[in-house]
Structure 1
């Protein structure tokens, strides 16, 4: 990613993060998460090795457990309590990364945006790029101090199943499916048992990794 494309509200490079590691108002979140069939544990891997001063954002736990569906957006109250427990609050610049490059980190970026928090960026290339470049890693837990945080949920960023079904029927907006092409077309089974294969009618497939370079960083705006 070109240096000129960096934006602390969307995407920052490993060099940017390295240069700002000691900033007192910087908070780093490890949002590593893996599909159920991957055989990996993000929390366990975090304990073994992470970027200095990072805190683990558990996508499974920081969600709405009132729903039977996984990873539904958390209620504002739950988001506040869990994020405060990580020492993240008002006035902080947040950088989120994951162990696959750019995979689960954007989910956390979106969660913060849903709660009206804009000073958050995804680490371009994530932990793999950071590790490849020989940048510092540690197993030491960070010193966490509670920090007040205020949120304002942006309801317009979420659509329920009825709204999505209406959009699909009326084609009043474009639905994008970011899963791999084989899952979109129903050729590959879903990683969670009991889920039907295929895709929402009239949706278009833009596989998540199609917007990435071979080194796992985001393609330029021009390339996209």
Structure 2
């Protein structure tokens, strides 16, 4: 019998209790922050949750030929690469990252985009798993049997530059920016030197850090208050950030808060701020 999860986020206690379920797939979705210049640890020394498969956002699950980072794959490519990880139609996926809540929501959102909803983010991520001294192992290069995962593409979950341009004048859409207030207001430099500062006209600042507390997402009630403050009439949301990673954190928070009409701007500010003739506010 397949394990079904009805929430977009699960606790480490839930994962520990279901760790041996035959349909469970655990994905390590860790990427370094673009603002983190420290050296990463030797991969031979890396540990992970027992039974984990590495989900390589940067090199496998992004279009590396695209001009901007973290560009989504086509639905066909995504399906093939997910099957190669041994993921099936009846799998239940739990995704986590080494920073608590950072890049794992991006993977959660990717699967939403591809029509797969039996997936959750691990609240508190790997730090909380370690804090509880739950089972770990050295990172392995698993070679799973090909899965039968199928895509059911949901195009309303993603927006592109032309969509955002239209949304600027659309009074029924809220564009929310997950970057820091300093980057939004152009008082802090962008981490990529070739990207202009500022923000999309008529967008609002909602730093992703505002919905996180000590590596956990804030409670459903707290999230509802935060999102209702900027969108009390439950209009459509478009979430943006630097490259689409932390915009997905906002998407996860909005979903938990009861908002279902949301999308992520795939190119986000890196595309907007490096494309000629697009309007910018500072």
Q: Which structure's residues are more often strand, by fraction?
A: 2
CA contact (8 A) 1:115 1:152 kept: yes
CA-atom RMSD, angstroms?
Answer: 2.0
The residue number in structure 1 matching 2:93 is: 94
Deviating beyond 6 angstroms after TM superposition, the runs of 4 or more aligned structure 1 residues are none
Question: Structure 1 residues 45 and 186, CA, compared in 2 at 3 Å: closer, same or farther?
Answer: farther
Question: Structure 1 residues 14 and 46, CA, compared in 2 at 3 Å: closer, same or farther?
Answer: farther
The residue number in structure 1 matching 2:170 is: 170
The residue number in structure 2 matching 1:180 is: 180
List alignment gaps of at least 5 residues for structure 1.
1-6
Cα-to-partner distance string for 1:86-119 (whole Å, 9 max, x where unaligned): 1112100000001111110000000001000000
CA contact (8 A) 1:125 1:216 kept: yes
List alignment gaps of at least 5 residues for structure 2.
224-282
Question: Equivalents in 1 of 2:44, 2:211: separation in Å?
Answer: 26
The residue number in structure 2 matching 1:196 is: 196
Question: Structure 1 residues 42 and 87, CA, compared in 2 at 3 Å: closer, same or farther?
Answer: farther
The residue number in structure 2 matching 1:77 is: 76
Give the structure-1-normalised TM-score: 0.90
Structure 1 position 169, deviation (Å): 2.8
Question: Equivalents in 1 of 2:33, 2:52: separation in Å?
Answer: 22
Structure 1 position 65, deviation (Å): 3.1
The residue number in structure 2 matching 1:17 is: 15
Question: Equivalents in 1 of 2:58, 2:87: separation in Å?
Answer: 18
Question: Equivalents in 2 of 1:46, 1:201: separation in Å?
Answer: 46
Structure 1 position 192, deviation (Å): 2.0
CA contact (8 A) 1:97 1:105 kept: yes
Question: Equivalents in 2 of 1:83, 1:137: separation in Å?
Answer: 23
Structure 1 position 66, deviation (Å): 4.0
Determine helix, strand or coil for the equivalent of 2:209.
helix
